[in-house]
């Protein structure tokens, strides 16, 4: 119960100081007294997190047994068992426009898969500057639900090949493979892999590299600049809000500590890694979880409501020694139906799903208004490819998670007719975001019952 004597704080309140602009999470004090949390402009907002994995999946180990609410979580999706009630697995979707359009368009599946993933549009075959694909749903949504936030959208990735130009896959520009987000049909959005850069985008004010390095050298947290304001603010808050602000600031401080630690570890390393930005952890899992943490805190502070995350790049040569697998990701995906190699790829698929489970737990444990961030977020996870051995694009491994601010009912396996356009799901996601668009890509209409 909120105390009506407490001071009302604007939802768009910020803390300012020494090059820092810090948004606050949704607090009870931001809701006018005697106003239900669910019936106010301060109510939690819909967030959208769109994750991409390359190389498809071993579909026999991905697809759950059973349909509707009567299904068993599959082996690959086992890390998501604790989130079954928040999970919707969507089967038999297809991205026809990720396949060759006809004679003379063979090959290029590794570039078309990410280019088509969030728009359903067949990209123009070119390795020149005249690239063309389609505006993606994250950018369409950002134009509507992202205009009230400081960042309309946030684009994240783990592997950086942004310096690659020319042809990356049989006549297709590298630009198609370097992102999953397109602001317009001819303008791809760059993906950021450096957590320090992301952190400064979220909480800095565009200070120079020299100023940021000086701050790191002095081992000063950016939060020190607003400590006085935080103390004064908390003096005006009730117990629940004081605890929520404390937890929020602790989260930000912990993220910054890990970024600074990664920078120092890289600086002290005897191994020279040319062109590797500082602030990127050497360990892949640490890197991925840190990027998920940044996405979550950006949602929590309402700095952005739309984020994409390219968790790996097509034709990835990352290895997984922690899984006992020495073969790189892309070669491992060409399993040739060998049982031992199928087992190997299944382990890689399951590992990546476990990283998504980390994000879902982060969202579930973060209060937001009258629920949690997981209650108010729609997470998409999947690939633009199905069987990586033959480079087909149906049936795709696709799932949704979260409550989508009351617009998504979890605990279901939805099995649609074969070759149902993936673009139908993209259109459905837009509708849940409040964007009443009639079509996207090769969509034929929104999916019923999702």
At 16 the pLDDT is 63
**b/e code 229-240 from CB counts within 10 Å (16+ = b):** ebeebeeebbee
At 138 the pLDDT is 98
The answer to whether residue 396 is domain-embedded is: yes
- Provide the number of structural domains found in the chain: 1
Instruction: Give whole-number Cα distances, 43 to 37, 115, 230, 301, 302, in Å.
Output: 6, 34, 23, 13, 12
> What percent of the chain has a predicted confidence (pLDDT) above 90?
60
At 272 the pLDDT is 39
The predicted-structure confidence for 200-212, as pLDDT tens digits, reads as follows 888 764 455 555 5
Predicted TM-score of the model (pTM): 0.83
Q: What are the φ/ψ torsions at residue 213 (nearest 5 degrees)?
A: -65, -40
Cβ distance 239 to 28 under 8 Å? no
Is the peptide bond between 395 and the residue preceding it cis, with omega within 30 degrees of 0? yes
State how far the Cα of 110 lies from the Cα of 112, in Å rounded to an integer: 6
The predicted-structure confidence for 45-62, as pLDDT tens digits, reads as follows 899 999 999 999 999 999
Token pair recorded at residue 181: 């987000």
The pLDDT of 40-47, averaged and rounded, is: 69
The answer to whether residue 308 is domain-embedded is: yes
**pLDDT tier at 265, thresholds 50, 70, 90:** low
Token pair recorded at residue 448: 């019923």
The predicted-structure confidence for 310-364, as pLDDT tens digits, reads as follows 999 999 999 999 999 999 999 999 999 999 999 999 999 999 999 999 999 999 9
At 150 the pLDDT is 84
pLDDT over threshold 80, residue 114: yes
The answer to whether residue 357 is domain-embedded is: yes
Cβ distance 233 to 245 under 8 Å? yes
Residues in the chain: 450
The pLDDT of 159-172, averaged and rounded, is: 69
pLDDT over threshold 60, residue 135: yes
The answer to whether residue 131 is domain-embedded is: yes
The answer to whether residue 301 is domain-embedded is: yes
**pLDDT tier at 309, thresholds 50, 70, 90:** very high
**pLDDT tier at 169, thresholds 50, 70, 90:** confident
The pLDDT of 168-189, averaged and rounded, is: 90
Tell me the helices (H) and strands (E) count for the chain, helix number first: 11, 17
Residue identified by tokens 């799903």 is: 353
Range of the domain at 79: 47-193+280-432
The domain that holds 125 is classified in CATH as 3.40.720
At 2 the pLDDT is 34
User: Among 5-9, 381-385, 444-448, which stretch is predicted with the lowest mean pLDDT?
Assistant: 5-9
The answer to whether residue 228 is domain-embedded is: no
> What percent of the chain has a predicted confidence (pLDDT) above 70?
80
Give the torsion through C-alpha atoms of 297, 440, 435, 9, to 10 deg. Answer: 20
**pLDDT tier at 274, thresholds 50, 70, 90:** very low
> Residue 390: beta bridge partners?
none
Work out the mean pLDDT of the chain and round it to a whole number. Answer: 85
**Largest Cα span, the chain:** 72
The answer to whether residue 65 is domain-embedded is: yes
The pLDDT of 158-184, averaged and rounded, is: 81
The predicted-structure confidence for 368-417, as pLDDT tens digits, reads as follows 988 999 999 999 999 999 999 999 999 999 999 999 999 999 999 999 99
pLDDT over threshold 50, residue 257: yes
The answer to whether residue 221 is domain-embedded is: no
């Amino acid at each position: 119960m909120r105390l009506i004597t407490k001071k009302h704080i604007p939802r768009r309140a910020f803390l300012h100081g020494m090059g820092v602009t810090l948004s606050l999470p949704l607090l009870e004090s931001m809701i006018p007294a005697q106003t239900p949390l669910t019936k106010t402009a301060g109510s939690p907002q819909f967030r959208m997190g769109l994750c991409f994995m390359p190389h498809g999946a071993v579909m026999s180990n991905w697809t759950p047994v059973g349909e509707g609410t009567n299904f068993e979580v599959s082996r690959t999706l086992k890390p998501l068992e604790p989130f079954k009630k928040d999970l919707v697995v969507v089967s038999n979707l297809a991205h026809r426009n990720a396949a060759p359009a006809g004679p003379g368009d063979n090959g290029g599946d590794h570039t078309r898969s990410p280019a088509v993933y969030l728009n359903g549009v067949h990209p123009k075959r070119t390795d020149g500057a005249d690239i063309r694909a389609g505006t993606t749903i994250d950018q369409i949504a950002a134009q509507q639900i992202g205009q009230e936030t400081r960042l309309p959208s946030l684009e994240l990735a783990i592997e950086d090949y942004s310096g690659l130009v020319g042809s990356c896959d049989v006549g297709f520009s590298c630009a198609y493979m370097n992102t999953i987000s397109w602001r317009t049909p001819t303008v791809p959005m760059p993906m950021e892999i450096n957590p320090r850069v992301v952190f400064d985008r979220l909480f800095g004010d565009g200070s120079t590299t020299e100023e940021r390095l000086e701050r790191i050298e002095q081992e000063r947290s950016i939060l020190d600049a607003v400590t006085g304001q935080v103390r004064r603010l908390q003096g005006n808050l009730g117990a629940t809000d004081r605890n929520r602000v404390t937890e929020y600031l602790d989260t930000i401080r912990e993220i910054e500590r890990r970024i600074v630690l990664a920078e120092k570890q890289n600086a002290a390393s005897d191994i020279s890694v040319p062109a590797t930005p500082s602030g990127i952890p050497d360990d892949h899992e640490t890197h991925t979880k840190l990027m998920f943490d940044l996405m979550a805190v950006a949602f929590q502070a309402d700095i952005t409501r739309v984020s994409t995350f390219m968790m790996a790049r097509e034709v990835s040569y990352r290895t997984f020694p922690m899984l006992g697998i020495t073969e790189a990701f892309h070669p491992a995906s060409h399993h040739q139906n060998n049982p031992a190699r199928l087992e190997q790829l299944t382990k890689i698929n399951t590992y990546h799903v476990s990283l998504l489970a980390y994000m879902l737990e982060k969202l579930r444990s973060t209060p937001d208004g009258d629920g949690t961030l997981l209650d108010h977020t729609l997470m998409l996870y999947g690939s633009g490819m199905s069987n990586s051995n033959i480079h087909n694009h149906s049936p795709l491994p696709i799932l949704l998670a979260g409550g989508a601010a009351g617009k998504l009912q979890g605990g279901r396996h939805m099995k649609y007719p074969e070759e149902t356009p993936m673009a139908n799901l993209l259109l459905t996601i837009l509708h849940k975001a409040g964007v009443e668009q009639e079509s996207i890509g090769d969509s034929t209409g929104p999916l019923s019952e999702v």
